[in-house]
Amino acid sequence: MMKNRGIAFKLVFFILTSCAVIFLVIFAYNYLFSRRIIIKNIESSAKNLTLVTVNKIETVLCSAAEVPESLAYFLEEGSYDTEEMLKLLKSMVENNPAIYGSTAAFEPNAFDKDSLYFAPYFYRSGDRVEFKYLGNDSYRYFYLDWYQIPRELGRPVWSEPYYDVGGGDILMSTYSVPFYADIGKEKKFMGIVTADISLAWLEDIISSIKIARSGYGFLVSKNGTIVSHPQKGLIMNETIFSIAEARDDPRLREIGREMIKGKSGFTPSRSIFTGKECWIAYAPVPSSGWSFGAVFPKDELMADMIRFNRIVLGLGAAGLLFLLIVIVWIAHSITRPLRILAKTTRDIAKGNLDFELPAVRSKDEVGELANSFIYMKGALKRYIKELTEATSAKERIESELRIAHDIQMNILPKVFPPFPDRREFDIYATLEPAKEVGGDFYDFFFIDDDNICFVIGDVSGKGVPAALFMAMVKTLIKSTARTTSSPDEILKTVNEEVSGKNDSCMFVTVFLAILNVRTGHVDYVNAGHNPPLVIHAGKEVSFLKDATGPAIGIFENGVFEKERIVLRPGDTIYMYTDGVTEAMDSGHHLFSEERLKETISKLAGSSIREIIDQMLEEIKSFSHGMPQADDITMLAVRYFSAAKPDRARAAHRTIVLKNSLSEIKKMATSIAEFGKEKNLPPDRINDATLVLEEAINNVVSYGYGDAKEHTIIIDVDLAGDGLSLRVQDDARPFNPLEVTPPDIHAPLESRRVGGLGIHLMRNFTDNLEYKREDGKNILTMRIPCR
């Protein structure tokens, strides 16, 4: 449905997407803002909670610390006896519920010279206060931390929590206060007054802290030892650092460092108890150097906000759904007329212009569009009628141009080699018109048995007029050459004929030459044409000396000068039109005569067909796909030498075939006629037909990689007691002598495919030779006629 309602879909999609984006932006902002506020509130509450808890602990510790400090002051300043000191110790424990036990532990022999230990200890036992003396061989108190550390530091110290075996026999921490006696100007250390605090009482304070469902408080000593925690197994058995190491939790390790340094903070971490994400708030207990921490579970504290956001998301989705329904209804009402017009458009695309539009009463854009459709209906009918007439005229013109192109190509010689029985020279040409028909032309023909005339020309302008002018000039040149063999006289006569009746003021540049095939002499005239190139057998390339003269058709009394050169065997004359040198690349640079000479120099050792074909490819590559602006025409003549008299000429036949399998029949007919004329044995004629059929089939089927027309030349010679067959083609190189003979005795299913035809050629001939020469394959076979 949406596929056929593109505008409605786009409208709904745009509005809904816009609303969704706005909603998501607002929701995201609200979520981030509320989350930030909640986290700030949690941080503030966490700091308040830790501060309140630390103050509670500090109050207890400070009240407990005042008692031993007062007793130490009394022992330093007043005189006392044993009974009085014992009363003070007992009253300290009885009157201070926070104190579990207290002692005044003297230095060895300091209280009584005859007693190593003197440390009366009062402690709670249930509801009573018990008494005992500390110090014996198993409890040498003056070596314990609660005694040694304040003695060495010279100040009161809270000890690390410990299990007091032999003292209170419970887990406790001791506040130790050193006291001294004045001896002269010096103070002598006399002992330590202590107050023991039960950690069970301290744990009650911390365990009373409730934070959501799984939050809790914990206490660590100044060395990081767990003093209080919901997991009882951790107390006094683990440190915050050992837990961090076991869980590979560097963040918890960093929190531990901060706590034992006496710092405060609020930082994200993972709960020691549950492993879930949480925040940990921590603060030091100043008097003892311990640190209190509170764990705030993140998911539980953020649960209300998450639940609220889910409700907001649900309401937003419901609102968007309702908005979607409303927008779809509105879009449907807006686009209904447009869908009707769209259906009408499809009818128009099918060619139905007799459609009827429903009445559209609205005065808005849809109404204007409907009126435009009605106008378009009439306009299209008129346009189609005019287009049909114009198309018919254009097709007629194009058909005539194609016919003109075919006629133009047919009046130019295009079978090469054109004179296969003449061995004195080779000739090849090509023409690529810029339009369907053009003004370039070439021609060659024998004036007599020894002189061949060849000409190339370029008519001013292009298209049909140039082609007609070209045909006229070409015909005049050929007819005039029958009456005179001098190139200057030929062009003089043609120029007079053309100039006298040239109302169109057209002209043609011409290069005309006559080659004597016995002597190699070339007489030529250049009537305003591009100078040809001479490719000497030694591969030296040079421009032919100009025999200057005006273009044909400009001046009625034009004067043409004749020049002569002598071609040596292997020399070549390369002629061209300005479509070659004036071909342009995308940067509007010309191909130029310099580039032409340079390219021809590289190709000098190739056959004339290869030279022209490679030049054409070079021009196309240079142009980089730029449209062809002018006709491109090239003609090349290569001179070999005068033919030697052939006494056995009557025993020779040349067969010229096209590269088509249908030409095999023509070959077979010609061989049969030759055999009949020379009274050859029928079986030998059959052998000759069979081997030639195999050779032609190989060339046509596998030799060419393009769809162009090519020529295959067969020379048949009867010499002595043998029949010589020479096959010449310009296909890709292929040496049949290199093909491995098939194993004809092997089972059929294991034989290698191919090679049987060449096997027959070897069996039916007594000599088989191959060579590659001038870009051509030359296969020579001899069939005995005895």
Question: What DSSP line would sit under 719-732, residue for residue?
Answer: ETTEEEEEEEE-SS
Q: Is residue 404 part of a domain?
A: no
Q: According to the model, what pLDDT value does residue 649 have?
A: 40
- Across residues 69-75, what is the average pLDDT? 87
- Looking up residue 476, the CATH number of its domain turns out to be 3.60.40.10
* Contact predicate 643/426, CB 8 Å: no
Residue carrying structure tokens 């088989």: 768
Select from 553, 608, 550 the least CA-distant residue to 576. Answer: 608
Q: Which residues contact 626 (CB under 8 A, 6 or more apart)?
A: 584, 585, 586
Q: Which of 301, 321, 355 is the last residue of a domain?
A: 301
Length of the chain: 786
Residues 510 and 575 in one domain: yes
CATH number for the domain harbouring residue 293: 3.30.450.20
Residue 636 confidence (pLDDT) above 90: yes
Measuring CA to CA, which residue among 513, 520, 458 is closest to residue 490? 513
Closest by CA to 439, choosing from 491, 508, 498, is 508
pLDDT at residue 3, rounded to an integer: 45
425 pLDDT higher than 60: yes
Stretch 425-440: mean pLDDT: 83
DSSP string, 612-630: HHHHHHHHHHHHTTPPP-S
pLDDT grade, residue 4 (50/70/90)? very low
Q: Residue 131: which of 86, 170, 176, 165 has the closest Cα?
A: 86
Q: Do 164 and 89 share a structural domain?
A: yes
Are 512 and 525 in contact by the 8 Å Cβ rule? The answer is yes
- CATH number of the domain residue 701 falls in: 3.30.565.10
Q: Are residues 586 and 443 in the same domain?
A: yes
Decide if 344 is inside a domain. no
Rounded CA gap, 518 and 526, in Å? 23
Name the band, by pLDDT with cuts 50, 70 and 90, for residue 778. Answer: very high
Q: Which of 249, 270, 301 is the last residue of a domain?
A: 301
Contact 104, 110 (CB under 8 A): no
Which pLDDT score, from 0 to 100, does residue 337 have? Answer: 67
- In this predicted structure, what is the pLDDT of residue 744? 56
d(CA 581, CA 575): 12
User: Does one domain contain both 227 and 171?
Assistant: no
Same domain, 532 and 569: yes
Domain assignment of residue 50, given as a range: 45-192
Of all residues in the chain, what percent carry a pLDDT higher than 70?
Answer: 83
**335/327 Cα distance (integer angstroms):** 12
When pLDDT is cut at 50, 70 and 90, the band that residue 12 belongs to is low
- CA 119 – CA 623 distance, rounded (Å): 115
Do 635 and 650 fall within a single domain?
A: no
Residue 7 has pLDDT above 60, yes or no: no
540 and 427 inside one domain: yes
Q: Are 699 and 691 in contact (CB under 8 A)?
A: no
Note whether 150 and 219 are same-domain residues: no
For residues 726 and 676, membership in a common domain is answered with yes
User: Is residue 102 predicted with pLDDT exceeding 80?
Assistant: yes
Q: Which amino acid is at 433?
A: P
Which of 268, 111, 109, 100 is closest to 198 using CA atoms? Answer: 100
Regarding whether 497 and 453 lie in a shared domain, the answer is yes
- 482 found inside a domain: yes
Across the chain, mean pLDDT equals 82
pLDDT tens-digit profile of 499-555?
Answer: 877 777 889 999 999 999 999 999 999 999 999 999 998 678 999 887 678 999 888
DSSP 533: E
- Is the predicted pLDDT of residue 748 greater than 60, yes or no? no
Q: Answer whether residue 750 shows pLDDT above 60.
A: no
Secondary structure (3-state) at 79 = coil
Answer yes or no: is 567 within a domain.
yes
Instruction: Looking at the structure, tell me whether residues 570 and 433 fall in a common domain.
Output: yes
> How many of the other CB atoms lie within 10 Å of CB of 700?
21
CA separation for the pair 217, 213 (Å, rounded): 13
Q: Is the pLDDT of residue 720 over 60?
A: yes
Contacts of 716 (CB under 8 A, 6+ apart): 652, 653, 654, 655, 671, 674, 688, 723, 724, 725, 726
**DSSP strand pairing (722-729 vs 711-719):** antiparallel
Range of lowest pLDDT (91-95, 136-140, 366-370, 557-561): 366-370
Find, among 576, 524, 516, the residue nearest to 547 by Cα: 524
575 and 629 inside one domain: yes
- 3 belongs to a structural domain: no
Q: What is the mean pLDDT of residues 276-297?
A: 88
In this structure, what token pair is assigned to residue 152? 């060495």
| CA neighbor of 54 nearest in space, from 298, 268, 228, 225 | 228
pTM for this prediction = 0.42
Helices (H), 166-260: 199-207, 240-246, 250-260
Residue 330 lies in a domain: no
Q: For 461-506, what is each residue's pLDDT tens digit?
A: 777 777 788 888 888 999 899 888 899 999 999 998 888 777 778 8
Rounded average pLDDT over 636-648: 69
Q: What are phi and psi of 770, to 5 degrees?
A: -140, 140
Q: What is the mean pLDDT of residues 298-321?
A: 73
Alpha-carbon distance of 508 to 681, in angstroms, equals 57
pLDDT of residue 646: 43
The identity of residue 423, as a single letter, is: R
Average pLDDT over residues 684-702: 89
Q: Residue 707's pLDDT band (boundaries 50, 70, 90)?
A: confident
Confidence of residue 243 (pLDDT cuts 50, 70, 90): confident
Helices (H), 354-503: 365-411, 463-481, 487-500
H/E stretch holding 125: strand 120-125
Domain boundary among 639, 663, 697: 639
Q: What angle do CA 715, 720, 725 make, to 5 degrees?
A: 20
* Residue 234 forms part of a structural domain: yes
Q: How confident is the model at residue 350 (pLDDT cuts 50, 70, 90)?
A: low
DSSP 403: H
The single-letter DSSP state of residue 222 is T
Report how many domains make up the chain: 4
Q: Which helix (H) or strand (E) holds 70?
A: helix 6-77
Asked, for residue 37, whether it belongs to a domain, the answer is: no
264 phi, psi to nearest 5 deg: -110, 155
